[in-house]
Amino acid sequence: VGLRVVLAVGEGDDIAPSLAERAPGMDIVRVREGDSLPDALAEADALVCNRLEPADTRAARRLRLVQATSAGADRVDPAALPPGCALCNAYEHEDAIAEWVLMAVLALTHHLLVYDRGLREGNWSRGLPLERELRRRTIGTLGFGHIGRRVVELARPFGMDAVAVTRSPTPERARAGGLRWLGSLEERDRLFAEADVAVVCVPLTDETHDAVGAAQLGALGADGYLVNVARGAVVQEQPLYEALRDRRIAGAALDVWWKYPETRGAAAAPSAYPFHELDNVVMTPHVSGRSEGTRRGRTAFVVAQLVRLAEGRPLENVLAVGS
Amino acid sequence: VGLRVVLAVGEGDDIAPSLAERAPGMDIVRVREGDSLPDALAEADALVCNRLEPADTRAARRLRLVQATSAGADRVDPAALPPGCALCNAYEHEDAIAEWVLMAVLALTHHLLVYDRGLREGNWSRGLPLERELRRRTIGTLGFGHIGRRVVELARPFGMDAVAVTRSPTPERARAGGLRWLGSLEERDRLFAEADVAVVCVPLTDETHDAVGAAQLGALGADGYLVNVARGAVVQEQPLYEALRDRRIAGAALDVWWKYPETRGAAAAPSAYPFHELDNVVMTPHVSGRSEGTRRGRTAFVVAQLVRLAEGRPLENVLAVGS
């Protein structure tokens, strides 16, 4: 099948053996820490990676596919795509992330972190305010793709009502998704006003950058919860911190952040603001999509995509094409 | 309507005003800290309480109803019931507890407490084992009453399979509950062998005391999770602690305990064993049923029950009758 496939640092462990088994003719090049990615790409047909800069592809003569191994491919610079080269992403994380969202909402409304921490010190205090159950509350998703749809599927059996906004709303999508209404991104203020729980699950784009700020948090209100599983930069950092600190919203569950460690494994605060001091926040280090199912599903998708490329069939999940 | 109703310490705040509005003819006696319960019961027709001893009713001449304000009425001694007096309980907590169960299962499988604690200290380590999603896992409930049914209703949309054991299994109940099978309490070893998540939600009785021990935990296995929202004494304390410590089961979520504070608000370890040192445990101070909905629902139930008594209609939720 002759294709040369480059697997960037960290991307090979599952894909290499699976690809070797499924498409034995492919020439698989695994890039290790310290190797030159530009050199490896010179004669490559496809690259599997999660970040890419223009300098990386300066010598890439025949690259036709940059396959990201996650859904948010915002660390792959489209300017790095040689002419005609496709950038594709991979999903398969919707079960894991939707589970995380329901977990986080319930952990907030049931005061899990406060009660667990207290009882570990022998404190039986049950003085926290009684919460309503999820029944008859409204969940609103900012974004209604793979994740938003699955979140709504899981939330409705709890008795929740659902609304959403998305780039391309249609009555059919609203009906199929079991929504009370589905609006455009411009209608997000209405979403935050109606939602008791607002879930951010849109891709980060120019249009969604800073899309959640003081106005939206004000509309969410003192009984409202915010969940972010998209990208930190969709939400404005300082207004969110202040709304939480001053209890102008009830709580937030954050898996994505404004600051990430420079090097893997280094210690680093995830924000310029001390979210870690707040007890109405659930915080995790960008793990909501991590699961066996996500890993297995993505490996299978990437391998099938490379086989499609080798066989000249149309690619799936094309986000952009280099020009 | 002439009925004299005694509201025990702590039981009056919601019920008294609601009762006064709904049944203005009733004589409502609120017992305060320091008052004599036996004296108050001498001429009472009904008592609303959560604990009762034989000495309390020694002078009760015409008591016909002891209405507990929770589902587990195991602190009301049936020997305290005068002849012909009914002991009834109240549910309305199934939404809140089933939410807590799903929260706890997801918090365990997504390593919530470990990730949250770590990131608060700037630790981004994601080295914990990848978990499977709930899809295709099996949830097994020990008990299939109000709580078990609601847990299964909420778990199935996640893609879980469900099995249960109960005192009175019938094929109809299995079908209506969406179960793969419904067995008797004697079949609990099969339940623990098949379940990835075992949820204890049976009343504490002679039959269920210590029902979960080393054999059942061994059958649950190293990938299995235990959840207890019933009573601590249904589960054997030392075998559970050791199974968790030695990772012979994957984790546990415990809302009910073997030791409670002697006086309300006092600090006290909930077990003779250091569960608080374990990071594969989610622990809360008997709060899973606490919610606005539970409180509202129970108040409405108790008031309706007292009206039934006043009007001579049959009582609901009768657990025992004094002989």
* pLDDT given for residue B128 in this prediction: 83
Chain A to chain B Cβ contacts (< 8 Å): 171
* Shortest CA distance from B93: residue in chain A: A133
User: Given a cut of 80, is residue A126 above it in pLDDT?
Assistant: no
- Asked if the Cβ–Cβ distance from B124 to A95 is below 8 Å, we say no
* pLDDT given for residue A22 in this prediction: 92
B109 touching A, CB under 8 A?
A: yes
Task: Tell me the whole-structure pTM to 2 decimals.
Answer: 0.92
* pLDDT given for residue A130 in this prediction: 86
Whether the CB-CB separation of B218 and B240 falls below 8 Å is answered with: no
- Asked if the Cβ–Cβ distance from B135 to A293 is below 8 Å, we say yes
Name every chain A residue with its beta carbon within 8 A of the beta carbon of B113: 113, 116
User: Given a cut of 90, is residue A119 above it in pLDDT?
Assistant: yes
Whether complex ipTM tops 0.85:
yes
Output the average pLDDT for chain A.
95
Whether the CB-CB separation of B173 and B166 falls below 8 Å is answered with: yes
Name every chain A residue with its beta carbon within 8 A of the beta carbon of B288: 110
B296 touching A, CB under 8 A?
A: no
* pLDDT given for residue B74 in this prediction: 87
A115 touching B, CB under 8 A?
A: yes
Name every chain A residue with its beta carbon within 8 A of the beta carbon of B290: 126, 130
Instruction: Give the helix/strand (H/E) hosting A49.
Output: strand A46-49
Q: How far apart are CA A69 and CA B148, in angstroms?
A: 39
**Residues 6+ away with beta carbon under 8 Å from A33:** A9
B300 touching A, CB under 8 A?
A: no
* pLDDT given for residue B245 in this prediction: 98
* pLDDT given for residue B126 in this prediction: 76
B154 Cα to chain A: minimum distance (Å): 6
* pLDDT given for residue A200 in this prediction: 98
* pLDDT given for residue B54 in this prediction: 97
User: Given a cut of 60, is residue A322 above it in pLDDT?
Assistant: yes
Name every chain A residue with its beta carbon within 8 A of the beta carbon of B135: 95, 293
* pLDDT given for residue B278 in this prediction: 98
* pLDDT given for residue B129 in this prediction: 83
Return the DSSP state at A105: H
* pLDDT given for residue B264 in this prediction: 79
> For residue A151, what are the CA distances in angstroms to A1, A105, A148, A169?
40, 11, 5, 17
Residue of B131, B154, B292 with shortest CB distance to A132 = B292
The string of pLDDT tens digits covering residues A241-280 is 999 999 999 999 999 999 999 987 789 999 999 999 999 9
The string of pLDDT tens digits covering residues B242-261 is 999 999 999 999 999 999 99
Name every chain A residue with its beta carbon within 8 A of the beta carbon of B116: 113, 282-284
Residue range A188-216: mean pLDDT, rounded: 97
* pLDDT given for residue A129 in this prediction: 83
A85 Cα to chain B: minimum distance (Å): 33
Is A243 strand, coil or helix? helix
Whether the CB-CB separation of B249 and B278 falls below 8 Å is answered with: no
Name every chain A residue with its beta carbon within 8 A of the beta carbon of B291: 130-133
- Asked if the Cβ–Cβ distance from A282 to B112 is below 8 Å, we say yes
Percent of chain A with pLDDT over 90: 91
- Asked if the Cβ–Cβ distance from B113 to A118 is below 8 Å, we say no
Residue range A177-184: mean pLDDT, rounded: 97
Running along chain B, 323 residues long, what does each successive block of 10 average in pLDDT? 88 91 93 94 96 96 95 92 96 96 98 97 87 94 97 98 96 95 97 98 96 98 98 98 98 98 90 98 96 94 97 96 95
A262 touching B, CB under 8 A?
A: no
The string of pLDDT tens digits covering residues A18-53 is 999 999 999 999 999 999 999 999 999 999 999 999
Residue of A109, A130, A265 with shortest CB distance to B125 = A265
Residue range A162-167: mean pLDDT, rounded: 97
